Structure 1
Amino acid sequence: MPHINAAAALQICMLLSALPAQYFISQWYGTDSAQRIQITERIIASWSSFTKSHLSLDAWTDCLKLWLSKTRSWYHGEKKTKMGDNEAETHSYFAESTHVHSPKPQYIQFSVGQVIVHKRFGYSGVIVGWDVKAKAPEEWLQHNYPPAKQDLKDTPHYRILINKANGFGKSTAYIPEEEITIIMGLEVHHPDMKAYFSGYDGSKYIMQPWLKKIYPHD
């Protein structure tokens, strides 16, 4: 039995449909041969256009390329969105969030720009941000606040640039309010000071405009 491929089968179907098509054309449009020829030519042209648009290999290739392009765009868009969400979540930790801290709760005792001394460790530094309660990865919270200190997680926390003059080793800290003592007349030396502050008035550091927008009440 001879093998018939898809193209040959399609041609056979077209030939078999030609006679019924001519019959229906003659029934619909009478015996006017010129009119029948015109209608037949239109049908052939429409069929040719249909096969080129939907049945040709090039048409299917174009459709596949379009689908792959849309799928790729969707995938990278979703990936970028997730990465953006993860990055935003990361930067919300340790008082690094850029959302405007307003209104300022009355129980937040200290302000950005004030110079502090750590009560237990003795190092000095300057406040560059605060959270109404500890915002950090769960692993960090579990490590720093064992069961006996769980209550501290719900107290205000401050981000500190540590004074390099202390030789403490760390450059920043994130500490609860109860560990802070405010002092005046002490200048802090840290490579990032100019990024956060424009000057020092003897009692506190003056915030840069971008930081003042985040902490308008400090």
Structure 2
Amino acid sequence: MVDYLPTLIFLTILFSVPLQFYLSPKSSSDAQYYLHKFVDEIHQIYSKIIGKFFNFSNKKGEMFEESEQIGDEKEIIGEETISKEEMSGLFGGSDEPRHPRPPHIKYKVGQVVKHKLHNYRGVIVGWDEKVKAPDWWIKRVHGTEEIDEPNYTIIIDTRDRLVPQIAYVLERNILLSEGV
């Protein structure tokens, strides 16, 4: 007579350990992220299916996706909004590798700098040879002044500002920080 109990125990352990590892989140923020991503995917699938059958679309897109665009696909800067596609090359955020770095670009990505006027520290995460931003933003920040110098995207140190911020700064306004 064949004894199935050891085989059953072995198979239970074999499947339960990986299942337990898969189901247990690494942290609560991971679980929240994946839950949010899952709900978004369900939302998109649902809106596509309903949209095909009932033609529920308006000029701005699907009804369900319209509310999502405000948080996920658009960034609000001042009074204007810029889509992610328009934003991809702006504010030192180009997708193209910049190699080699031109010699007139004084600072490198990863360097810690200090703002001369506002006295905050930060890390350079991107740069542009000349300002690359929407015209309304350039007029608001620089006025009618012609900007023909490198600009750097800087993540501001939270020890200097309570709320995490990113700045787009002219080269003349920053210095290499000494002693972080």
Q: TM-score, normalised by structure 2?
A: 0.51
Deviations 1:140-194 (A, max 9, x none): 00101112xx23x2210000000000125451100000001101331xxxxxxxx
Counterpart in the other structure of 2:169: 175
Deviations 1:42-73 (A, max 9, x none): xxxxxxxxxxxxxxxxxxxxxxxxxxxxxxxx
Structure 1 position 157 matched with structure 2 position 154: no
State the structure with more CA Rg.
1
* Secondary structure of the structure 2 residue equivalent to 1:165: coil
Counterpart in the other structure of 1:133: 130
Structure 2: runs of 5 or more not aligned: 1-72, 74-82
Aligned counterparts of 1:120 and 1:170: Cα–Cα separation in 2: 19
1:121 is matched by which residue type in structure 2?
Answer: H
Q: How many residues align?
A: 101
Contact 1:124 1:163 in 2 (8 A): yes
Aligned-residue offset at 1:132:
0.4
State the 4+ residue runs in structure 1 displaced beyond 6 angstroms: none
Aligned counterparts of 1:118 and 1:173: Cα–Cα separation in 2: 10
* Secondary structure of the structure 2 residue equivalent to 1:143: helix
Aligned counterparts of 2:143 and 2:161: Cα–Cα separation in 1: 28
Contact 2:157 2:164 in 1 (8 A): no
Aligned counterparts of 1:120 and 1:112: Cα–Cα separation in 2: 21
Contact 1:92 1:135 in 2 (8 A): yes
RMSD of the alignment, in Å?
A: 2.2
Structure 1: runs of 5 or more not aligned: 1-82, 187-218
Percent identity of equivalent pairs:
35
Counterpart in the other structure of 2:103: 106
2:130 is matched by which residue type in structure 1?
Answer: K
Contact 1:123 1:168 in 2 (8 A): no
Structure 1 position 122 matched with structure 2 position 116: no
Aligned counterparts of 1:165 and 1:87: Cα–Cα separation in 2: 29
| Greater share of residues in strand | 2
Counterpart in the other structure of 1:73: none
* Secondary structure of the structure 2 residue equivalent to 1:154: coil
> After the TM superposition, which residues 50-61 of structure 1 pair with which residues of structure 2 at under 5 Å, given as runs?
none
Aligned-residue offset at 1:100:
1.0
* Secondary structure of the structure 1 residue equivalent to 2:159: helix
